[in-house]
Amino acid sequence: MKENKLGSLQDNQKVTRSVLLGAAFLMATSSIGPGFLTQTTVFTQQLAASFGFVILISLILDVFAQMNVWRIIAVSGLRGQEIANKVLPGLGVVLAVLIVMGGLAFNIGNVAGAGLGLNAMIGIDPIIGAIISGAFAIFIFVVKEAGKAMDRVAQIAGIVMVLLMLYVAISTTPPVGEAIVNTFKPEQISIFAIVTLVGGTVGGYITFAGGHRLLDAGVKGIESLPEVTKSSIIGILVTGIMRVALFLAVLGVISKGLTIDPGNPPASVFQLAAGNIGYKIFGVIMWAAAITSVVGAAYTSVSFIRSFSPVIEKYHNWIIILFILISTITFAFVGRPVNILLLVGALNALILPLALGTLLVGAYKKDIVGSYKHPLWLAIGGGIVVVVMGYLGIVTLIEQVPLLFK
């Protein structure tokens, strides 16, 4: 009898470990999409070794954002929109609309990225590649254990991306010493780059990807906080390793005086770093980054409307499939709606401060977290992220809206 109990306990520990890693990699791979690759390449071109400072600051802000969100969700046992509705009735609906709009619009870009990845990898037409990729993403949610399948795909894709990225970074022999010095004593600082990186890493649906995954797997309560904290930090570290590796790869290329093609900056870096093999590696990384972002965006966006209706809750997997299908069809037949992406991009910048600010208020409401006492240092750090990202998000929105009417 004791052996059976011990075996059951070990199985539960394995399941919990798998779920924690799955949530960490879901968040990390959701943030490592086509935009991630392009942003990092372009900003490294502009700032050179000083981009290391931008990465450092953005990672610190990311840690405060994710640790706050994951802890409050775990302690309350509620999804982001449910907490928001308890803080202010109707706010959860507003948050859900913003998340779903952003997730759907950016998923069109993710599907496009997956098509480009397959094009670089095996030479097929990007639209056909996008359709194949959409079908692959849908298959993940058709299988019986969709949650486990999603965790496994996120982990495998994340590990493959990190290993290939490290290989390319090493092959360019970047000036590591110069990068380290400029990380702590930069020659130039770009606030815009910091905001873009933070928004791209923990903005929109990405803020909630890991927390909602843990909740759906039953990982919640004060007793789960040590594991939840570890999971959130692992996710940030995976994102950070990818960002640093890509930064070093680009820095290695530009330090040799090589010219990066502005038409496709990340692909150009890989090709300059390792020739045709490098271009194929770019295809693998681009596809892995895009397909995991497709899955993460669809899963997390739909998780924001699951609590609104028993019908949605019952058929949420099919709604996720519909979400991916709409994204794929839109790209295949219409292309990327630039104006919509501009507007939603600006709105996306406001989702992080709105969501994080709401959850921080919820952390001090007994009807949401009970007797739990939220750490003051985390609340202060989260509050700084809210103020900084809120101000800069509004500035971005003001700049972007007039572009829609030109």
**72 has pLDDT over 90:** yes
Looking at residue 261, the DSSP 8-state letter turns out to be: P
**343 has pLDDT over 80:** no
Give the pLDDT mean for 35-53.
87
Specify the pLDDT at position 406.
58
Convert the pLDDT of each residue in 110-143 to its tens digit.
888 888 899 988 988 888 999 999 999 999 888 8
Instruction: Let me know how long the chain is.
Output: 406
**352 has pLDDT over 90:** no
In sequence order, the 6+-apart residues with CB closer than 8 A to the CB of 90 are none
Specify the pLDDT at position 383.
94
In DSSP notation, 161-178 reads HHHHHHHHHHHT---HHH
Specify the pLDDT at position 128.
92
Specify the pLDDT at position 100.
86
Q: What percent of the chain has pLDDT over 90?
A: 22
Q: How confident is the model at residue 312 (pLDDT cuts 50, 70, 90)?
A: confident
**12 has pLDDT over 60:** no
**360 has pLDDT over 90:** yes
Q: How confident is the model at residue 230 (pLDDT cuts 50, 70, 90)?
A: confident
Average pLDDT, the chain: 83
Specify the pLDDT at position 90.
92
Specify the pLDDT at position 5.
43
Q: CA-CA-CA-CA torsion for 110, 112, 117, 122, nearest 10 degrees?
A: 150
Specify the pLDDT at position 402.
63
Specify the pLDDT at position 88.
93
Specify the pLDDT at position 13.
54
Q: How confident is the model at residue 6 (pLDDT cuts 50, 70, 90)?
A: very low
Q: Decide if domain 20-405 falls under CATH 1.20.1740.10.
A: yes
**362 has pLDDT over 90:** yes
Is 353:393 a contact under the CB 8 Å cutoff? yes
Give the pLDDT mean for 52-66.
88
Specify the pLDDT at position 53.
93
Looking at residue 144, the DSSP 8-state letter turns out to be: T
In sequence order, the 6+-apart residues with CB closer than 8 A to the CB of 195 are 349, 389, 392, 393, 396
Specify the pLDDT at position 179.
92
Q: How confident is the model at residue 161 (pLDDT cuts 50, 70, 90)?
A: confident
Specify the pLDDT at position 2.
46
Q: What percent of the chain has pLDDT over 70?
A: 90
Q: How confident is the model at residue 405 (pLDDT cuts 50, 70, 90)?
A: low
Convert the pLDDT of each residue in 185-206 to its tens digit.
999 888 878 877 777 777 777 8
Specify the pLDDT at position 7.
42
Among candidates 120, 146, 66, which has minimal Cα distance to 324? 146
Give the pLDDT mean for 308-319.
87
Instruction: Of 149-158, 224-233, 359-368, 396-405, give the lowest mean pLDDT range.
Output: 396-405
Specify the pLDDT at position 89.
92
Give the pLDDT mean for 371-385.
92
Q: How confident is the model at residue 214 (pLDDT cuts 50, 70, 90)?
A: confident
In DSSP notation, 62-116 reads HHHHHHHHHHHHHHHT--HHHHHHHHSTTHHHHHHHHHHHHHHHHHHHHHHHHHH
